[in-house]
Amino acid sequence: MPRLRAALLRAAPALGLFAAARLTGTLVFALWAWHIGRSPRALLATSWDSDWYLRIAANGYGRTLHWPDGAPMSDLAFFPLYPGLIRAVTGVLPIAYGTAGLLLSWLAAGAAAWGVYLVAERLAGRRVASLTVLLWALLPTSFVLTMAYTEPVMTAFAAWALYAVLTRRWLWAGTLAALAGLSRPNGVAIAAAVLAAAALELWQRRGRAGRRVWAGAALAPLGWASYLLWVGARRGDLFGGYFAVQDGWTSRFDFGAGAAHFVRDMLKGPTQFGYVMALVVTGIGVLLFALLLLDPDERPPLPVLVYTGVLVLITVGGSGFFESKPRFLLPAFPLLLPLARALTRARPRAAITVITGMAGLSFAYAPYALTLARMAL
């Protein structure tokens, strides 16, 4: 406990910056929503995927809608941990499902920011860590951290699992990775990171690593794999059932072919700003990963690279809702390390200009995405 308390005290300034950024962005969004006669609470709690999570929490799995061509959209595409937590909270507190979802997301976002700080601090020091947390709070899609969505929950478990790996707490790493895997499909990234770290440990010790390493490695993929197998058993196709469900949502991994076709068509004529934003953010994410990977002096450890690389690969190589790609990159916070390092070395005026510009874009993008854009989130 003393170590945890000391870690919280070190992170407190960064967490204050995170809270200030997200509260400001939420207030700007709320003022806009009230201005146009919409409920900010309803928009944050029930928009897009949030509605699916709340229905699962209330009624369990079993809902299926259909595209105009008849293709099914099953709620089995959504992982169970977050709706399960919502149901648990409503069983204890006399609040609505949407309110419970928001409460969980806000608490998870704070826990995630703390985990992001600890990982970045271990890799690059306190100044870079504080800037990494602030930049993460100011991403264009950071408003998702204040919605009834799974990104804050998954990122919280993943960030703390990474920290556990870096500090050689293998049982914690495996357990937290398993929980991240129950949160979202791309939670498999942290399982891959723990497995890679365990494999490296075994190789370096010539297979003589302790039982905790083996146990952490065994635990890490259990959450993700167990849900895929459960869906497969329910669909009558143990290994392919979940991927068939995702295919119904037009979501599949095709090494970027679908995304390339979408971008080609998008560039042929007028398009929505959200699609352009998705392209720009995804491109910047790939560039930042290249910087993270290729800098020999500041390259992070293997588990950080694997975690980030798998998230980038899933985002770039997957087809489906192109506009959602920036949200899929939200848990990939190590991508911000090169930018945070650059800002610590830049002149104060340049750093302030970059941060102010990011804040303006972030605070303006939420009203656009949730009330003006005619596309999924």
List pLDDT tens digits, range 234-257: 999 999 999 999 999 999 999 999
Paired with 110 in beta bridges are: none
The confidence score (pLDDT) of residue 233 equals 97
The confidence score (pLDDT) of residue 298 equals 87
pLDDT beyond 90 at 270: no
Question: Closest by alpha carbon to 183, among 351, 13, 359, 331?
Answer: 331
Average pLDDT over residues 79-90: 98
The confidence score (pLDDT) of residue 356 equals 97
Radius of gyration, CA atoms only, the chain: 20
Average pLDDT over residues 16-38: 98
The confidence score (pLDDT) of residue 49 equals 96
Average pLDDT over residues 218-223: 98
pLDDT beyond 80 at 1: no
pLDDT beyond 90 at 207: no
Q: Are 280 and 342 in contact (CB under 8 A)?
A: no
Average pLDDT over residues 115-130: 97
The helix (H) or strand (E) run that includes residue 164 is helix 151-166
- Please provide the distance, in angstroms rounded to a whole number, between the alpha carbons at the two ends of the chain: 39
Angle in degrees, 0-180, between the axes of helices 302-317 and 188-204, rounded to the nearest 10: 150
State the pLDDT confidence band at 358, using cuts at 50, 70 and 90: very high
Number of neighbours of residue 329 by Cβ within 10 angstroms:
28
pLDDT beyond 90 at 374: no
pLDDT beyond 80 at 46: yes
The confidence score (pLDDT) of residue 57 equals 98
The confidence score (pLDDT) of residue 88 equals 98
Average pLDDT over residues 217-233: 98
Query: What digits encode the pLDDT tens for the residues 283-327?
Result: 999 999 999 998 888 899 999 999 999 999 999 999 989 999 999
The two three-digit tokens of residue 287, written as one number: 């560039």
pLDDT beyond 80 at 206: no
Q: Which of 97-111, 136-150, 198-212 is the least confident region?
A: 198-212
pLDDT beyond 70 at 152: yes
Assign residue 233 a region: left if phi > 0, alpha if psi is -120 to 50, beta otherwise?
alpha
The confidence score (pLDDT) of residue 43 equals 97
Question: Closest by alpha carbon to 130, among 5, 43, 13?
Answer: 13
Q: Which parts of 127-178 are beta strand (E)?
A: none
The confidence score (pLDDT) of residue 130 equals 98
pLDDT beyond 80 at 2: no
Average pLDDT over residues 158-174: 97
The confidence score (pLDDT) of residue 69 equals 87
Instruction: Provide the whole-model pTM.
Output: 0.97
* Residues above pLDDT 70, as percent of the chain: 100
Question: Closest by alpha carbon to 132, among 157, 111, 113, 149?
Answer: 113
Phi, psi angle pair for 74, to nearest 5° = -95, 145
The two three-digit tokens of residue 225, written as one number: 């794999």
- Among all chains, which residue has been given the structure tokens 């992001």? 116
The confidence score (pLDDT) of residue 48 equals 95
Question: Closest by alpha carbon to 183, among 141, 161, 151?
Answer: 151
State the pLDDT confidence band at 3, using cuts at 50, 70 and 90: confident
Average pLDDT over the chain, rounded to an integer: 95
pLDDT beyond 80 at 83: yes
